Structure 1
Amino acid sequence: GGGRSGAAMSLPSEDLGRLHRTLQDAVSAEADAAAEVERLESQLKLALTTAKSKRSELLSVLDELSKRPVTVTALQKTLVGVTVNGLRKHESSAVAAKSETLVRSWKSLVESNSTWGSLTNGSTPQSPGGGSSSKRKSTAMDILDEVRDEHGRVERRRAHIDSHEDQLALKEAAEAERMWEDAMGRTSRRDEEAARRASAEKLRERYRCIEETKRGREIEVLAKIPKACKAISGRSPGNSVSTSSAPGAMSNRKATPNPVLSKLKQQASKIRRSY
């Protein structure tokens, strides 16, 4: 009995083979996933090491720039100020701090150079709120904030506050925008007026149709009143007097008014007064 029970619990060979293949696939997939994790981990370590080394290299270059004296002409030609200015928002606090320090020192250099140039040319420096101060700030912004493409062309150009051509261009642009807004406003007002006129005309047409329909019905009523009066008069008791009656009988008898005929006459008089 025990042998037969063991034989009944055994798996067929085809089922055992199928489970074996499933197990082999699972083992292979697990090995591939583990290998992928190791590969990604090694890449991450390499990227972190590279980023750390590049950041160290970046800090080294910024330190060297802070130790080397530069001129305004060099800043204008190389546009290094633009690059360093963009690093002030770097995720590394050390890089951002060094970049901020460099930009401030270069900005002071440009402004002091503009002041020295105005003094050597014989002009008198104006107050901090005057044109010379604004010009110095504008020059510093042009040197540190200009953006050029790979060929050295300026991609974004500010309007210079002391440039007559730029001021004329700004005035023309403002005038063109004002004229455009005025034209669009007039067009909108004309459209609104036309819409109001169309609505009023539709309303008047509706009233005319209602009045014409009402008048037609009243005319039909007026046309039917005489026929109704004749029919009622023909059936009136006052007209059924015998011919053999005495001549004075009609004059002595008072005619009885017909209420239907009186009502029709009142309606007819009201309709006539309305016209």
Structure 2
Amino acid sequence: MSVSQSNRVHVPIILILLASGTPVSAQGDSEDRIGLPRDPQTPVIELFTSSGRADSRRPDRMLVVTADGTVAVAAGNGVARQSSARLSRDELLDLLSDLISTHRILQCRSDQLLQEAERAGRAAGLDWKFPKATTTIIRIRLSGGVHEVRCTAAELLAERFPDAESVQNFNGALLRLQNLIAVTQIGGAAEAQRLCDIANSELRVTGDRRNGVTARDIQSVRENRQGLRLVQFHLSQDDNGDSPNALISVVESQDSPAQVTITPLPRRER
């Protein structure tokens, strides 16, 4: 992935669901079955967010990926510049395969997500309605049509209801797109690998036996006007549960070396 930068943005990861657009039939992960639009400028993947405030304007488009692999990330959340990149055709098809095959985004429907969250909430005695939370919209446009799905407080719902399959799929697709945003913001694969090396060096010092983090584990990027940058990774617990989930924060600036903080997160029930 080649990258040019004119700004970085942190996309909120709190969301819930609403309507759906024209459905697209599920397709496989090969180029022929995915069916990219012929026009290279056609938006293939779009990510929007909309505040739950009563005075909220139309949804803000935070990410767009076109059929030729161009990635554009919007400014926002205290980050002053936009970011852009270019995916190769294989990288674009791999991204679509993750969304379609792994996270089954084309099978997610807004009404289905809401019903699933309600059932899980009633069964667990937990709230599933968060009207003031941010709504996230994922839109996929392929040669067969357009599929749009909305979810409010998706990350919160996914954490609260781990057995809600459609909610987990939507949140997984969202996290995949947030990772693309973050890697674009920091400057692409080479810079992502440099930051991974810094984080993994600290993990080795602590004696952590896991394989470490990769660029896919980058969750978010924040910068301020003074040039301070915070990059956060999510490290999943190991298979036997001996090492818990952890949040790895790498903070660096032009005037000081990187500082790494590893924060254990609550263990996932097995």
Q: When the two structures are superposed, what TM-score results if normalisation uses the length of structure 1?
A: 0.23
Q: Which has the higher contact order (CA 8 A, sep 6+)?
A: 2
Bigger helix fraction: 1
- Bigger radius of gyration among the two: 1
Bigger strand fraction: 2
